[in-house]
Chain A
Amino acid sequence: MPRRNDIHKILIIGSGPIVIGQACEFDYSGTQACKALRADGYEVVLINSNPATIMTDPDTADRTYIEPLTIEYAEEVIRQERPDALLSTVGGQTGLNLSVALAEAGVLDKYGVELIGAKIESIKKAEDRLLFKDAMRKIGLETPQSRLLTTVEEGLDFATKIGYPMILRPSFTLGGTGGGIAYNREDLVTILERGLDLSPVHEVLAEESVLGWKEYELEVIRDLADNAIIVCPIENFDPMGVHTGDSITVAPAQTLSDREYQMMRDGALACLREIGVDTGGSNVQFAIDPVSGRMVVVEMNPRVSRSSALASKATGFPIAKIAAKLAVGYRLDEIKNDITRKTPACFEPTIDYVVVKIPKWQFEKFPGAEPVLTTQMKSVGEVMAIGRTFKQALNKALRGLETGKSSASTNLDERLIAQRLITPNPERIHYLRFAFEKGYTVEEVFEMTQIDPWFLRQVRDAVLFEDSLQTTGLDSITAAEMRRAKREGISDNRLARFWDVDSLDVRRKRKELGVTAVFNRVDTCAAEFESFTPYMYSSYESTCEASPSDRKKVMILGSGPNRIGQGIEFDYACCHASFALQEFGVESIMVNCNPETVSTDYDTSDRLYFEPLTLEDVLNIFDTEKPSGVIVQFGGQTPLNLALPLKAAGVPIIGTDPEDIDLAEDRKRFGKLLDELQIPSPRWGTATSVEQACDIARDLGYPVLVRPSYVLGGRAMVIAYEEDTVRRYMQEATLYSPGRPVLIDRFLEDATEIDVDALSDTQDVLIGGVMEHIEEAGVHSGDSSCVMPPQSVGAAEIATIVDYTEKLARALRVRGLMNIQYAIQKGKVYVLEVNPRASRTVPYVSKATGVALPKIAVGLMLGQSLKDLAHLANGQISGVLPPKKVSVKSPVFPFAKFQGVDPALGPEMRSTGEVMGVGESFGEAFGKAQLSAGVPLPMSGCVFFSVNDNHKPAALDLAKKFAALGFELAATRGTAFWLKNAGLRVRTVFKVNEGRPNAVDLMKGGSLQLVIYTTTGATSFPDEQAIRRTAVQHRVPCITTISGARAAAEAIASRLKDPVRVWSVQELHGDAAD
């Protein structure tokens, strides 16, 4: 069956912002699908609200809409574009849900759009728990005993039948949101109430516990001719009970005999056929009882998933790309395997290495949330490592995590071993090692963890081997022992710690002994056929397959696992750097260890090294490739931290000199530079002791901003309004990292914050965007919505900003990108921070202006001037690029995943992703952005106010606006009194501690549609927290700043007046954006 010629134009729905459970793996799959379909001559229309994606680049699809993923906006896109078909399976759960919604709303029928990939009936059969169970029973596959619950009473009744623990999964939620394990009646009621509420259909599936069973996932692909293959079996290191997104996973499956594996394979294929997924990739999860071998199907996703991205990276088999081709009629045997070039894609990859994925969690950002792993995913990113053996891969993955602490030096407490092993938690892997160090046996640890003994023995053997190394030393170690250590995956760093020497000494000695890394290829076929794709991982084997070219080449260091503050935006920049290098005729070499990304697609760069971003691993690649330059300024803090050591090791860093990057981060030297340039900044000081900090704070005057030096994403930052806060903060900080200085800045209250992204060749300076933050200074820039062009900044202030930016770029000899944060207080412009590197906002600025900033930056780093590259910036080499229309970027928060966490915004960044809204006015753009961020603003109903005294005049203006828009008003006593005095009709509502019904009750009852609740930030009262938490839980938009509330009022006004309208990126910026 060749490609279908009856369809020409295909709509792809992306997955929207990065959230927990749905990250940049869908940028990877969506981008692959777009590329594959366009290569085949189809016209591709894309809708996705996330600007920080490669898929929303103007040349990925033919027509790209950065618009809200809602029925009305999608319909408008369909009305304008009239696609023939909709590919529903590459945009994650969001894309699938919107596809179903469009079908059910009759939009697809109305415009004659055919759903391809998976049909509605199949999606329903797979997603509806009861239909799924019936389908499985029909083909003889077991599922855990279960019942669909719609009330808490039904749950309690079911518990009397199957007992506890009971697994609860709300229907149609993402990444297991709202799910959990109930160990007793109390748990059951809590989890069930929340789950029923979060499920869009108010259903929760209760299941028999298969806790402790072995867990597997199979990635399955099928074509229209019913040819079907398994791409990869993945085994979870953590048994059932931990969400697979929160489990350490291993490919291929390690502890299944062929008989069991084939039973599972037969089951997966039967499942795919019964559900009726015609074409494309699906994922089927199984559990096996380690005692009896009984097997149950856990679930099935009829679409490309997070695991398929992992399986693609683990095997070299591009699932999304193939799935897209199958959806338009190709057969598996009609598609070639890219890697071998001559064999077809219709085969099952076999791998001759071991792949380990470890999730990355950030519970420290969510005080109040218990760091316990359950069936609801909580990790924000993941790292993958490839090794010749499990131990090698595990060790690599652990060092790829960049926890900032080595596993050995982690503070482990012997008294906690049992607890930390029994209850799954982010530190369990470290406690496993620790337990073996303390002499626990495999049997004992198995009793506590149910982790398969094969894995446990591997961990124990690694610990024992490391023990044996402690008795040797740098001088006495033999070549054979050194080779053995490296083959076990032990880093130079770790060896250096054992022997109390410097890691570079270990490296030197290792090379003297002739023990050097080689590179093996990921080739889908265990070397049976020649590979033409340089996709490599390091090992200490005998044959190196890297075969580097003698072309001019540059190596790009990626950003490692996603984390809050360092996510897809940096991968976007790295990918662009790679594309730009190729366009400039330079070979691009990518180094990264994040399996979710586009940068780790073997198709993105000329050469891909799937390796941890540590000094040792990067130097090994450098030794083999010998590139003429290394780019460190696109991948965020991870590569920047390596810049100075790499430079010291003789690696040529291109772009801004690492010394100058360092200068910008060194407060003392940088302060001096600002003085010389006569650029104002808030007064500041550094302290290493409590008393010193208090003295400085007193001297600066409260409020002050207190934070550690050298961190990204505002880790552990607070605004202190009085000495107590400073004292408490310093006590903790000195415990956490003794000796490291803490920065104390005078905090500029009620200032407007501005972000600037600029390009510089050390002489000319071109500003890509001046972004005005909607939330006032004090809210982390990554958590603030921002708008381009600025709405309340005067021409004089802009001129000052341009002037300061030019001065700073020249002074820091910036070659490439730089980001500056300014604050404007009472008309005066202050510099808050300068980062001579790509920032989080680069993709947003590129999308808003239609100018690809990273591409120009690469040209600059290769030695060209802005004048040489003017054609890439519409001829401009100075000043500020003019944005088309108004673009608003808004953050997306994971609060719904972390029960008990206060969602108030502050200086600590907590958003996981972002969206963009485009409009004729600020109101329209902001409204769209909020809609995309999942907090749709109400069009009518009641607005609840509770503001502090400073905000009361502003609140009055706002209340008048809302009243004029037809809203009712409600307020707490103080605020209500103020509003009533001004003649407004206001309903007075009790605070939580005053009596009932209070604001929380009203919200639960659905009588409040919008909450505006500001604080002084000094202290957070339980009342406020309760209100904000309830708002998150009941999805009532809750705005914690006055400026945010003003923006909301404008957005609502626009929504009531403006039509639903959409613009494609190509329409805004011209088809050839470059």
Chain B
Amino acid sequence: MPNTAILALEDGTVFQGRAHGARTVRTGEVVFNTSMTGYQEVFTDPSYTGQIVVLTNPQVGNYGATGADNEAAKACIEGLVVREWAEMPSSWRADESADQFLARQDVPVIDEIDTRGLVLKLRSGGVMRGALSTAGHTAEQLIEMARKSPSMAGLDLATGVSTKARYSWDKPLEPCSPSERIAPPPADGFHVVAYDFGIKHNILRCLASIGARVTVVPAMTSAKEILALNPDGVFLSNGPGDPEPLHFQAEQVRKMVGRKPIFGICLGHQIIGLALGGKTYKLKFGHRGINHPVLNKRTNKVEITVQNHGFCVDPDSLKDSAVDITHWNLNDDTVEGLRHRSEPLFCVQYHPEAAPGPHDSQYLFDDFAALMREFKKS
């Protein structure tokens, strides 16, 4: 097995490092994430489908991997780029090393890379396509592969990663240690239908923790089918790719507005934006991290939020719509949340389910519960 690995970008930049994880070659959009913890949740977040992830935290793999931290059944990133990779885990929670985890899931890893230099490049030049090989490819081959790989703009990845069949979920959040306190679900129950565009497990756990029995449905499910299930609320999940091609889903949302309480996260939020007449656009290098300040205009408080998105809803496009912009990103004044003025609907661009990241915004699940409770009454 070769010990060296190469990451090549579409602009011809080449990084050489050491090979870990699987010995293979993958292409994808090269993006960076600034979280200092939670690498396994990043590896398994379906929103990273089609992306090679650079972690800015230089020491990765330190605490290994555990089944409890998976956000999907398998790793979703195309490849991983780090400064230093720990092959051996050190944690009472670890089932295996992070290296075994990714190798088993066919994800290549390159380390000893000047990740800061790479991030500076992506920050100034914007995200780029890249190819990562741990299988002995030459730099020239990889540059060629990067250039031939599909561009993220206009790409529908969500319907591809969505579940093929309906399933139900009822596992709530569980403490990670004997010292963690998690509030028990409320007594009244809900039935929530959740669109899976690449849904993270922790969203499902959070929904279960507000007392919801969740029916997860494929991305191509129609409003009619959902209304036939007569849920207390409809949820639209996060997911990878460009929201623009998701006309069908936007159409279904339009049909359900006012008929069921609706809550959306990330891609779900973008689809709602599109459904209500808005437009989306691609950010230069996206928001990927767990330290983004978001101002909730309704409470006038700041939340430290978890973000993972490359596209954004254009606030100007919503000027004549029926929604208020409720949340703003304080770093760059982008839209972070919407709420319908008259109907039970709200959504956020960021990830209140955290995993990884702060729990500041988990109140949004309670808000969703309150919305469903109220709707049930009326």
Contact present for A343 and B330 (CB under 8 Å): yes
Instruction: Give the docked Cα–Cα distance between A349 and B289 (Å).
Output: 11
> Scoring A residues 349 to 384 as 1 if CB is less than 8 Å from chain B, else 0, what string do you get?
111111000000000000000000000000000000
| Cβ contact of A333, chosen from B62, B302, B358, B359, cutoff 8 A | B302
By beta carbon, the residue of chain A nearest B93 is: A257
Closest to B121 in A: A543
Interface hit among B32-40, B210-218, B230-238, B261-269: B32-40
* A226 (CB) vs chain B CBs: closest residue: B301
Interface stretch (choices A23-31, A450-458, A501-509): A450-458
Q: Mark A848-879, 1 if CB is under 8 A from B, else 0.
A: 00000000000000000000000000000000
Contact A263 B180 (CB under 8 A): yes
**Residues of B close to A464: CB separation below 8 A:** none
Q: Which residues of B contact A331 (CB under 8 A)?
A: 302
Contact A260 B57 (CB under 8 A): no
Most buried by B among A331, A332, A348: A348
Bound state CA distance, A361 and B57, in angstroms? 31
The contact string, 1 if C-beta is below 8 Å from chain B, for chain A 265-306, is 110000000000000000000001011111110000000000
* Whole-angstrom CA separation of A226 from B360 in the bound complex: 12
CA A349 to CA B354, docked complex, whole Å: 17
A541: chain B residues within 8 A (beta carbon): 114, 116-117
A233 CB to closest chain B CB (Å) equals 8
Tell me, in angstroms, the Cα distance from A526 to B91 when the chains sit together: 26
Interface residues of B in 227-270 (CB under 8 A from A): none
Indicate if the CB atoms of A389 and B359 lie closer than 8 Å: no
CB < 8 Å neighbour of A252 from B36, B83, B116, B331: B36
Other-chain residue from A261, A333, A353, A543 in contact with B37 (beta carbon distance below 8 A): A261
Within 8 A of B (CB), among A243-267: 252-263, 265-266
Asked if A229 lies at the interface with its beta carbon under 8 angstroms from chain B, I say: yes
A145 to B57 alpha-carbon distance, docked (Å): 36
For the complex, is A954 an interface residue (Cβ under 8 Å from B)? no
* Bound-state Cα–Cα, A457 to B57, Å: 19
Using Cβ atoms and an 8 Å threshold, which residues of chain B touch A525? 34, 291
- Tell me whether A527 is interfacial, beta carbon within 8 Å: yes
User: With an 8 A cutoff between CB atoms, is B170 at the interface?
Assistant: no
Chain B's nearest CB lies how many Å from the CB of A996?
A: 53
* Contact (Cβ within 8 A) B34 A528: yes
> Once the chains bind, are B90 and A528 in contact (CB under 8 Å)?
no
CB distance from B113 to the nearest CB of A (A): 9
- Rounded to whole angstroms, the CA-CA distance of A252 and B63 in the bound complex is 14
Contacts of A261 in B (CB 8 A): 37
- In the bound complex, residues from chain B placing their C-beta under 8 Å from that of A353 are 58
Chain A residue at minimum C-beta to C-beta distance from B42: A258
Contact partners of A288 in chain B: CB under 8 A: 177
B119, CB-defined interface residue at 8 Å: yes
Chain B, residues 283-305, CB within 8 Å of chain A (1/0): the string is 00000011111010000111010
A354 and B331 within 8 A (CB):
no
Residues 332-354 (chain A) with a chain B CB within 8 angstroms: 332-333, 342-344, 346-354
CB distance from A335 to the nearest CB of B (A): 11
A347 contacts B86, C-beta separation under 8 Å: no
User: Do residues B295 and A293 form an inter-chain contact, with CB atoms below 8 A?
Assistant: no
A229 & B304 in contact (Cβ 8 Å cutoff):
yes
B66 and A257 contact, CB distance less than 8 A:
yes
Contact status B177-A260, CB under 8 Å? yes
**Cβ contact of A260, chosen from B59, B93, B332, cutoff 8 A:** B93
**B357 close to A (CB within 8 Å):** yes
* Known contacts A260-B93, A346-B330, A347-B293; A254 and B59 CB within 8 A of each other: yes
- A interface majority secondary structure: loop
CB distance from A848 to the nearest CB of B (A): 47
- Residues 115-140 of chain B: 1 if any A CB is under 8 Å from the residue's CB, otherwise 0? 11101100100000000000000000
Chain A residues within 8 Å of chain B by Cβ, number: 64
Task: Confirm or deny: B69 has a beta carbon within 8 angstroms of a beta carbon on chain A.
Answer: yes
- The answer to whether A390 and B179 have CB atoms under 8 Å apart is no
Closest to B119 in A: A527
Contact indicator B91/A255 (Cβ below 8 Å): yes
B-chain residues with CB within 8 Å of residue A354 when the two chains form the complex: 58-59
Q: Is the CB of A294 within 8 A of B179?
A: yes
| Cβ B177 vs Cβ A295 within 8 A | yes
Contact with A256, one of B37, B69, B289, B330 (Cβ below 8 angstroms): B37
Asked if B291 contacts A350 (CB within 8 A), the reply is yes
- B157–chain A nearest beta-carbon distance, Å: 24
**Do A258 and B355 touch (CB < 8 A)?**
yes
- Which B residue's beta carbon lies closest to that of A528? B34
Interface residues of B in 328-375 (CB under 8 A from A): 330-332, 354-359
Closest to B16 in A: A480
Which residues of B272-325 are within 8 A (CB) of A? 289-293, 295, 300-302, 304
Asked if A142 and B84 make an inter-chain contact with CB atoms under 8 angstroms apart, the answer reads no
| B56 adjacent to chain A (CB < 8 Å) | yes
Residues of chain A within 8 A (CB-CB) of B331 are: 342-344, 347, 529
> Cβ of B62 and Cβ of A542 under 8 Å apart?
no
Q: How far is the CB of A242 from chain B (nearest CB, A)?
A: 19
B 195-232 binary contact with A (CB < 8 Å = 1; else 0)? 00000000000000000000000000000000000000
Are A452 and B90 within 8 A (Cβ)?
A: yes
Q: Which of A400-459 contact B (CB under 8 A)?
A: 452-454, 457
Q: From B58, B92, B123, B180, give the contact of A290 (CB < 8 A).
A: B92
Q: Is the CB of B58 within 8 A of A225?
A: no
Q: Max chain B CB contacts within 10 Å: which of A225, A543, A545? A: A543
* Chain B window 49-66, contacts with chain A (Cβ cutoff 8 Å), 1 for yes, 0 for no: 000000011110011001
Q: How far is the CA of A332 from the CA of B302 in the complex (A)?
A: 9
CB of A140 closer than 8 Å to a CB of B: yes
Evaluate contact between B179 and A543: CB separation under 8 angstroms: no
* Any A CB within 8 A of the CB of B73: no
A542 touches B114 (CB 8 A): yes
Residue pair A389, B58 in contact (C-beta under 8 Å): yes
- In the complex, the answer to whether A254 meets B62 with C-beta atoms within 8 Å is yes
Distance A227 CA – B358 CA, assembled complex (angstroms)? 13
B88 CB–A CB distance under 8 Å: yes
Interface pair B66/A526, CB less than 8 Å apart:
no
B153 at the binding interface (Cβ < 8 Å):
no
**A258 pairs with B38, CB closer than 8 A:** yes
User: Is the beta-carbon distance between A266 and B359 smaller than 8 angstroms?
Assistant: yes
- Verify A543–B69 contact, CB threshold 8 A: no
- Asked, given contacts A263-B179, A347-B293, A352-B56, whether A256 binds B116 with beta carbons under 8 Å apart, the answer is no
For A253, the chain B residues whose CB sits under 8 A away are 36-37
Q: A233 to B35, alpha carbons, bound, how many Å?
A: 13
Interface string of A31-56 (1 = CB under 8 A from B): 00000000000000000000000000
Beta-carbon nearest neighbor of A257 in chain B = B63
In chain A, what residue has the closest Cβ to B288?
Answer: A528
CA distance A403 to B63 in the complex (A): 33
A350 to B58, CA, bound (A): 11
B41 within 8 A of A: yes
User: Chain A's nearest CB lies how many Å from the CB of B53?
Assistant: 14
A351 surroundings in chain B (CB, below 8 A): 36, 57
Q: B356: nearest residue on chain A (CB-CB)? A: A258
A257-B37, A263-B180 known; A227+B301 contact, CB < 8 A: yes
Interchain CB contact under 8 A, A292 and B302: no
CB neighbours (8 Å) of A233 from chain B are 36
Taken together as a complex, chains A and B put the C-alpha atoms of A910 and B204 apart, in Å, by 62
Interface residues of A (CB under 8 A from B): 140-142, 225-227, 229, 233, 252-263, 265-266, 288, 290-296, 331-333, 342-344, 346-354, 388-390, 452-454, 457, 487, 520, 525-530, 541-543, 545
Apart from A343-B332, A348-B304, list 10 A-B contacts with CB within 8 A.
Answer: A255-B63, A258-B40, A260-B93, A295-B179, A333-B302, A388-B83, A389-B58, A527-B116, A527-B120, A530-B123
Q: Supply 8 A–B pairs (Cβ within 8 Å), ascending by A.
A: A265-B359, A292-B177, A343-B293, A454-B62, A457-B86, A457-B90, A487-B112, A527-B116
What 8 A-B pairs have minimum CB-CB distances, sorted nearest first? A258-B38, A293-B177, A258-B356, A259-B176, A526-B56, A543-B117, A454-B90, A258-B37
